[in-house]
Chain A
Amino acid sequence: MCGIAGIIYRDSQKNSRLGRDLLRAIAPLESRGPDSCGVGVYRPEVRHSETKLVLRGTAQVDWQKLPQVLNGWAKIVETKQIDLDCWVRLELQNCTIDDLKVQLAKHFPQVHLQSSGQQLEVYKEVNDAASLFAKYNLAEFAGSHGLAHTRMATESMVDNLRAHPFMVAPDMCIVHNGQIANYHKLRFELERQGIEFETDNDSEAIALYLRVQLLQGMTLETALANLSQDFDGTYTFLVATPDKVGLVRDKYAAKPAVIYESETMVAIASEYRALLNIPDLDPRGSFREPDAGEINVWSVGSSSTKTLPARVISY
């Protein structure tokens, strides 16, 4: 068991509540797994030439050396040190995020690039939701949408690297509840395509599979439909991009999800009781559960939902 939650606002007036709503939705789900907690929040964009990084550090990392390490690769605009970690706003100089990652790994092998992008910031901690939110002051975070996760580790060890959300690409992340049964086969196939795994957590295969699909030019919707064909096992997972949030349920409906939709927001959680925690639920809003094999994709800030027909199970 794990708990997952997602919040999407259709009315930007509500954006200031994002952090608090995510905390309200994820905290009750800790009974499904208290091993670690994590969030991915989509906050207002930085300037189009800039990128935000969330870097996970250790006591050995001297963040004062960061400008020197990145010299020639990126121009640092702003940094904020939070405990051992560092939030950075920078301008890349004729290089990609992947190049930057290599440069970081060379000089700061202890540092993990937790997120990158113009909107997404990922924070996670081997701790409960209240502690995670307090450490990074997440309750005050405003944004258009976000994902949250509370983990019961089943497939790999409990540490920060293996905590969710997992990054797919800059500004894209997933949270997953379940187990991927054909993980080793999928990993072998993805590695043959040149994809590098950072962990032995099976949920990372979802993120990296989507990465390959999107790099091949698939739409998010097509990539999710392909994934539900190729992935065996039990899963309910959420994926977020700057303008969309997708929810995928396996063809046996083995892992739970409840969706609340109103004119002003969409909230998704593993359990109904987590949604009851969100204030001013609209009585005209709807609660429903996705069907086996159902894929939902919501556009952020709009009232449209695309429900793909449940996959036809052929024998």
Chain B
Amino acid sequence: MQQPTVLKETVIDCEGLSTQEINQRVKALAAEGIERVKLLNPAGKHNLAVGIVEPIEIEIIGSAGYYCGGLSSGLNLEVLGNCSWSLGENLMDGQIIVRGNASANAGATASGGRISILGNAGARAGISLKGGTLIVAGNVGYGSAFMMQQGRIVICGDAGDNLADSIYEGAIYVGGNIASLGADAKLEPMTAQDWQFLETELNSLEINFAEYDFKKIVSAKELHHFKAQDWFKFKDAY
């Protein structure tokens, strides 16, 4: 008879521990060969699971604070709650799933990996994204994808004002309404490869891609070099 695979799992109760103690324990457990760790009572603490470069599965039972999962590479993080500002900031590789909402700056400057938010994300989702994939099953707020440089953002719901302002490269897919596009952003027709990408990515989250009228936004690349006659194309802040 085949033996079932049993992951070596352990639990950390965050109550009464400092963030440093929690993250050090996670790292120590990963070094011991523990494959999965559960964090209980996170109570919205900041900097949980930050700087994790070991391939460990982390499950946070409850809501996390700022920078959750940030500066990590190769972790596999799941949050059963909401996340505050800057979820997965500067993520290099790995997987983050939030079964709740994320606040502003989700996935900021991430250069790899995949961040999935099954609820809504706040303002500036995917700001300065440098690679990897950010998926938001709900809506995103004001100024999302600002100055994105690479990678892909999938938004199943609506996008707030100034989406994709001053992006360099990469693509953004929006299933719902776009309040307004930022400077130098343009709509581009969806290709078969785009639909294929969405199908693969969203199927893995049990989201039916065909239910959404996805639109693709890319950089028009007209403002990469400043020319005085383009002045009117720059959307002024005031």
A50 surroundings in chain B (CB, below 8 A): none
Contacts of A272 in B (CB 8 A): 44, 63, 65, 82, 84, 103
A292 touches B65 (CB 8 A): no
Contacting pair A276 B236 (CB below 8 A): no
**Chain B residue with minimal CB distance to A289?**
B122
Which of B82, B85, B162, B238 lies in contact with A256, CB distance below 8 A? Answer: B85
Bound together, the chains give a CA A315 to CA B234 distance in angstroms of 10
A80–B143 CA distance with the chains assembled, in angstroms = 52
**Residue from the list B82, B84, B141, B236 in contact with A253, Cβ < 8 A:** B141
CB distance from B231 to the nearest CB of A (A): 13
How many chain A residues have a CB neighbour from B under 8 Å?
A: 18
| In the complex, per-residue mask of A255-293: 1 if CB is within 8 Å of any chain B CB, else 0 | 010100000000000011100100000000001010111
A287 CA / B44 CA spacing, docked (Å)? 13
Query: In the complex, what's the smallest C-beta–C-beta distance from B77 to chain A, in angstroms?
Result: 18
CB distance from A157 to the nearest CB of B (A): 28
Once the chains bind, are B122 and A273 in contact (CB under 8 Å)? no
B173 at the interface (CB under 8 A from A): no
B66 to chain A, nearest CB (A): 8
Interface of A is mostly: loop
Q: Are B142 and A289 in touch, CB under 8 angstroms?
A: no
Q: Are A315 and B235 in contact (CB under 8 A)?
A: yes
Judging by beta carbons under 8 Å apart, are A252 and B123 in contact? yes
Asked if B44 and A253 make an inter-chain contact with CB atoms under 8 angstroms apart, the answer reads no
Q: B236 contacts A315, CB within 8 Å? A: yes
Q: How far is the CB of A246 from chain B (nearest CB, A)?
A: 20
Question: What mask results when residues 103 to 136 of chain B are scored 1 for a CB within 8 Å of chain A, else 0?
Answer: 1100000000000000000111000000000000
- State whether the Cβ of B45 lies closer than 8 Å to any Cβ in chain A: yes
Given A256-B85, A315-B235, also A291-B141 (CB < 8 A): yes
Quick check: B65 and A273 within 8 Å, CB to CB? yes
| A313 interface residue (CB < 8 Å to B) | yes
Contacts of B84 in A (CB 8 A): 256, 271-273
| Minimum CB–CB distance for B100 against chain A, Å | 10
- Note all chain B residues with C-beta closer than 8 A to A313: 161-162, 180
CA distance A253 to B124 in the complex (A): 9
Contacts of A258 in B (CB 8 A): 103
A232 interface residue per 8 A CB criterion: yes
Nearest CB on A from B110, distance (A): 20
> What are the 7 tightest A-B residue pairs by CB atom distance, in nearest-first order?
A273-B44, A292-B142, A253-B123, A272-B44, A315-B235, A253-B142, A276-B44
**Which residues of A does B touch, CB under 8 Å?**
31, 232, 251-253, 256, 258, 271-273, 276, 287, 289, 291-293, 313, 315
Q: A252-B142, A272-B103 are in contact. List 11 more A-B contacts (CB 8 A).
A: A252-B123, A252-B143, A258-B103, A271-B66, A272-B44, A273-B43, A276-B43, A292-B161, A293-B142, A315-B235, A315-B236
